[in-house]
A and B are shown apart, each in its own frame.
Chain A
Amino acid sequence: MSKKKEEIILKKAKTPKQKALRVCLYVSVAVMTLIILYPYLVMFSTALKSRAEIYAADGTIFPVVWLWENFTDIWSKAPLLRYFLNSVIVAGGSTMIAILCGIPAAYALARMKFKGQKFFLGLVIISQMFSPVVLLIGIYRVMSTLNMTDSLLGLVFINAAFNQAFAIWLLRGAFISISPDMEQAARIDGCNKVQAMIKVLLPMAAPGIVTTLIFIFINAWNEYTIALTLISTDLKKPLTVGITIFNGYNMIEWQYLFAASLFATIPVIILFLCIEKHLVSGLASGGVKG
């Protein structure tokens, strides 16, 4: 919004009724922010308490003794570093595969006209309808046949496949919003289709591609159900499944669970904040034009 408009709005805000509305606005935003941040506050404060303090009869909101060492202790209490690496491998690998398969498909859907185009787009949308959970039994069987039940590679492929729809959707939206003129110019200059795509289209679509990358990475990073079902070896678990190690049979070690949860959450929130703006416009354009 331009500065002029902002000034107009600020001027408007000076009438009493508008002023009251402003106050309402700030109050509602503040309340909403507090409610959303509450679980994170609980996570943080609990992660710094001792077990005795957590289970004490007269609990406190903030820790009485701030046990910062909880954050370092967890790394020796559980193979957390290993879980972390597994998550990186699964999320990174599935993002790579999803993008490498998604770019040519999105390119074809955005730039070419062919029979069955609508059908394929429909298929992409429908594939999104089926979450891996409903298909777990089938997935388990396929993975057994492929000998990938207890392997990170299996998780990589499943996550890549179930994120294909989003990848194609977001990338197609990004490609469509770029005029094909530049690519045609490159074609006239002697590039073939693939060269024109790689040298002209992909750099121009970089924001959209990065958004898609990060989005798929986060999806795979946060995935829980398939990993829970397919992985049985402790050292092959990704973070989401691994941290439940603090969820013992008799007593939950909340302080460690939440300390580890914070390590699993904060990088993702930062990544998400980077793409927030692009992601929304991407979702909207892909969806509306879809």
Chain B
Amino acid sequence: MTTLPGTRRLLTTWALLMALTVLSMVSARLDADDWQALPLWSAGLVIAATGFKAQRLLMVYLNLRAATPAWKGAFVGLVLLTLTLIAGGYLAARLS
């Protein structure tokens, strides 16, 4: 059994994940009356918040912080690769 994150860390992470989700929703301008393409900075903020959420979920909820740096790097790298795909597809469509 590895060292678990502990209740305090879990609650802090949960609060952070909730805040980042709300930040994503605000960045995506869900309050706007009419549908419009996001400014690039908003899209960047959405992607950055998503990446940070995924990293926190891996490290704390899934307790990957107890693994070796190589495994941490592999999983975070895969998340970054996925986000690059998402961001790349979005940008290519936006700029085409």
Q: Is the pairing of A and B real? A: no
Interface residues of B (CB under 8 A from A): none
